[in-house]
Structure 1
Amino acid sequence: MDWRTIKAPSLAEFEEIAADAFARLPSEFRARCDGLVIRIEDFPSEEILDEMGLESPFDLLGLYHGTGEPYEMSHQTTRLPDMVFLYRRPMLDYWSDYDETLGQLVTHVLIHEIGHHFGLSDAAMHAIEGKAGR
């Protein structure tokens, strides 16, 4: 391998990594994600950083945005889709400091952000990671 040619994955390549990570999740978990949108962005917006009281855009790897299953109202007629944001640059920075593959990190963040959608406990999310082969 020629290390002089290795580059950080682009946003489009990161989308492919996230799509692969999602496809490897247990089918019963993915089946509950109907309508969930996964977006890749370089960083969270200034508005998100301010809302969360974060000083650095590198402090947030992913974010769930939406109503969430435990709080959905059956009489709601229209609403924006639930979304999971994965932040490429903070994830790459985090990844550089740990001994795991980028795919493993993306899977971990994806499961935890989707897990918030379902209101799952940390123990349940770790079990899903185990089933996903993480």
Structure 2
Amino acid sequence: MTTLPPSLDTIEELARTAISDLPPQFAVAANTLVLRVMEFAPDELLAEIGIEEPFELTGLYTGIPLTEKSSFDQPTEPDAIWLFRRPILDEWIARGDVDLSDLVTHVTVHELAHHFGWTDADIARIDRWWE
């Protein structure tokens, strides 16, 4: 029996489930973000944020956090959450003790935290990763 690793579509589905499971006041706003799921972060993106090893980056938020937005902002691209399949799977395998859906939820919520300007206490109410 051959077992294939989870696909890009599977990671996206898990992330969309994590977003839809948020409290309604966050889920509505979170659904306005673009969700990009890729094998790895593009080289130019890694260079821009100063990361040399692509396996180090499981997710990223790009955009202007809600706590910093102004009506004068002229965005050139929509706010987005990026998830990187291979680094997520690498972490999942290395941990060996966490469900893939929990890991994808953790990465997704962490990136949403950047968008919403959430504090650690806010994140703890939604994502009890360390318990």
TM-score in terms of structure 2 length: 0.88
Where does structure 1 lack aligned partners over 5 or more consecutive residues?
none
> Counterpart of 2:12?
15
> Counterpart of 1:89?
86
Where does structure 2 lack aligned partners over 5 or more consecutive residues?
none
> Counterpart of 2:57?
60
Confirm whether residue 49 of structure 1 aligns to residue 46 of structure 2: yes
> Counterpart of 1:100?
98
Q: CA RMSD in A?
A: 2.0
Deviation at 1:77, TM superposition (A): 5.8
Q: 2:117 aligns with which of 113, 116, 119?
A: 119
> Counterpart of 1:27?
24
Aligned equivalents of 1:83 and 1:94: distance in 2? 22
SS at 1:84 equivalent: strand
Q: Deviations along 1:9-56, whole A, 9 cap, x unmatched?
A: 111222212222222222222123252111101100111211222121
SS at 2:67 equivalent: helix
The answer to whether the Cα contact below 8 Å between 1:43 and 1:88 also exists between their aligned partners in 2 is yes
Deviation at 1:5, TM superposition (A): 2.4
Amino acid at match of 2:50: G
> Counterpart of 1:70?
67
CA shift in 2, pair 1:72/1:12, >3 Å: same
Comparing 13-22 and 70-79, the one that deviates more: 70-79
Deviation at 1:89, TM superposition (A): 0.3
The answer to whether the Cα contact below 8 Å between 1:35 and 1:81 also exists between their aligned partners in 2 is no
**Number of equivalenced pairs:** 129
Q: Deviations along 1:79-128, whole A, 9 cap, x unmatched?
A: 42110000000000000012110100010010010110011122311211
SS at 1:38 equivalent: strand
